Amino acid sequence: MKLLLRMSVVLVMLAAGLFWFSTTLPGEIKIRQSIKINATPEQIFPYLNNPTDWKNWSAWNKNYDPTVIYMYGGPHRGVGARQSWIGDKTGNWQMVLTQSVAPDSLGYVLTEQGKSVRTIGSFILEEQENGTLVTWQQTTPLEDNPLALYKGVWQKNKTEEELQQGLQNLQTLLATTLNTNASNQ
Is 17 domain-assigned? no
Is 165 domain-assigned? yes
- pLDDT on residue 182: 60
Is 1 domain-assigned? no
Is 19 domain-assigned? no
Residues 19-61 pLDDT 10s: 554 455 557 889 999 999 999 999 999 999 999 999 999 998 8
Domains of the chain: total? 1
Is 18 domain-assigned? no
The pLDDT of residue 175 is above 90: yes
Question: Which one, of 106, 47, 112, 104, lies nearest residue 85 by Cα?
Answer: 112
Q: What is the CATH number of the domain that holds 74?
A: 3.30.530.20
* Backbone φ, ψ for residue 93 (5° rounding): -130, 160
* Distance (Å, whole) CA 83 – CA 55: 10
- pLDDT on residue 116: 85
Supply the range of the domain harboring residue 45. Answer: 27-184
Is 16 domain-assigned? no
* Distance (Å, whole) CA 40 – CA 38: 7
- Stated pTM of the model: 0.83
Contact 91, 115 (CB under 8 A): no
The pLDDT of residue 65 is above 90: yes
Is 37 domain-assigned? yes
Is 49 domain-assigned? yes
Contact 62, 87 (CB under 8 A): no
- pLDDT on residue 29: 84
Residues 77-130 pLDDT 10s: 999 999 999 999 999 999 999 999 999 999 999 999 988 889 999 999 999 999
